[in-house]
């Protein structure tokens, strides 16, 4: 479990994490020349669609692309395709995510500009700075003393660099660790391929009042110590949708939104 340290205080942290996606790996279509890229019944069967986001191109079957003057985006949706990306190492990933043409560094600046550090937390091998607005500092300390986390709070990845994960940060409304559980709504923002203009946005939601089996109530509880594992899985899935290096051979053959 995560360990939060401040003035000798130890806090065990856990979080229900709803994150992930099921999209097709382009390598599958390349290996089977007779197969269609998308499965029958999917929105863009048989060849899928491609959308340009910033400088990259992404191919999809069931997702929803949006075009806008401030940049294109892609709301990723599950697909019935043979998913070679998450069958094994990332088999338990679920999804609520989008790919957006946004500045990661600007997002960091907007999120942390007026916040101050209240504590540090270790989730697995990764360290995060827990940041709050100044007017939430005293109340945040009080929640920490009761075994919870500040509400709202942001968590800034602080290494180590040896983990080799993309830059990211988490923002939460609601306390994700207090017992008994309370409703919370969190976002993870991940910088894609060191490109400052592409952000992967994952939504984390848990509400104890939701009925069993709804998509935003995940069971069993997710161990937040696996956050780095989740981020690696999400990045790998998005990479599998990235056809930038092959875009030349798809032009005129696959509908492309630019």
Residue 220 included in any domain = no
**Boundaries of domain holding 137:** 2-8+18-215+226-253
For residue 133, is pLDDT > 80?
yes
φ and ψ at residue 88, rounded to 5 degrees: -110, -85
- 90: which DSSP letter? T
Token pair belonging to 225: 């110590």
pLDDT in tens, 201-251: 988 777 777 655 555 445 555 677 888 888 888 898 899 899 999 999 999
Residue 160 included in any domain = yes
Residue 136 included in any domain = yes
The beta strand positions in the chain, using DSSP E, are: 2-6, 9-13, 49-53, 56-60, 64-66, 73-76, 97-100, 116-123, 126-132, 153-157, 168-173, 184-192, 195-206, 256-257
Residue 51 included in any domain = yes
Residue 246 included in any domain = yes
Position 6 confidence tier, pLDDT thresholds 50, 70, 90 = very low
Tell me what the pLDDT averaged over the chain comes to. 80
- In the chain, the number of structural domains is 1
Is the Cβ–Cβ distance between 218 and 17 less than 8 Å? yes
pLDDT at 127: 94
Q: Which residues contact 114 (CB under 8 A, 6 or more apart)?
A: 133, 134
pLDDT at 86: 57
Q: Which residues contact 128 (CB under 8 A, 6 or more apart)?
A: 120, 121, 122, 155, 156, 157, 158, 170
Residue 34 included in any domain = yes
pLDDT in tens, 154-204: 999 999 989 999 999 999 998 877 788 788 888 999 999 988 999 999 887
pLDDT in tens, 94-108: 667 899 999 999 999
Q: pTM of this prediction?
A: 0.81
Question: Of all helices (H) and strands (E), which one includes residue 28?
Answer: helix 26-31
Residue 198 included in any domain = yes
Residue 13 included in any domain = no
């Amino acid at each position: 479990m995560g360990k939060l340290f401040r003035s000798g205080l130890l806090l065990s942290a856990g979080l229900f994490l709803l994150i992930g996606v099921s999209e097709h790996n382009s390598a599958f279509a390349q290996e089977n020349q007779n197969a269609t890229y998308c499965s029958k019944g999917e929105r863009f069967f048989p060849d899928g669609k491609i959308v340009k986001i910033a400088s990259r191109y992404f191919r999809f079957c069931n997702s929803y692309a949006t075009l806008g003057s401030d940049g294109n985006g892609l709301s990723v949706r599950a697909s019935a395709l043979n998913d070679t990306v998450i069958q094994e190492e990332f088999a338990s990933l679920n999804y609520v995510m989008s790919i957006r043409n946004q500045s990661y560094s600007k997002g960091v600046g907007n999120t942390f500009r007026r916040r101050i550090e209240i504590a540090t937390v270790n989730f697995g091998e990764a360290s995060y700075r827990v940041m709050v607005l100044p007017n939430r500092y005293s109340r945040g300390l009080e929640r920490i003393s009761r075994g919870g986390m500040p509400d709202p709070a942001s968590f800034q990845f602080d290494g180590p660099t040896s983990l080799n994960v993309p830059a990211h940060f988490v923002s939460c409304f609601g306390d994700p660790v207090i017992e008994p559980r309370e409703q919370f709504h969190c976002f993870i923002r991940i910088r894609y391929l060191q490109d400052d203009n592409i952000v992967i946005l994952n939504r984390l939601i848990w509400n104890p009042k939701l009925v069993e089996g709804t998509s935003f109530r995940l069971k069993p509880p997710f161990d937040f110590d696996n956050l780095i594992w989740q981020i690696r899985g999400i990045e790998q899935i998005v990479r599998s949708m990235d056809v930038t290096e092959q875009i030349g051979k798809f032009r005129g053959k696959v509908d492309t939104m630019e």
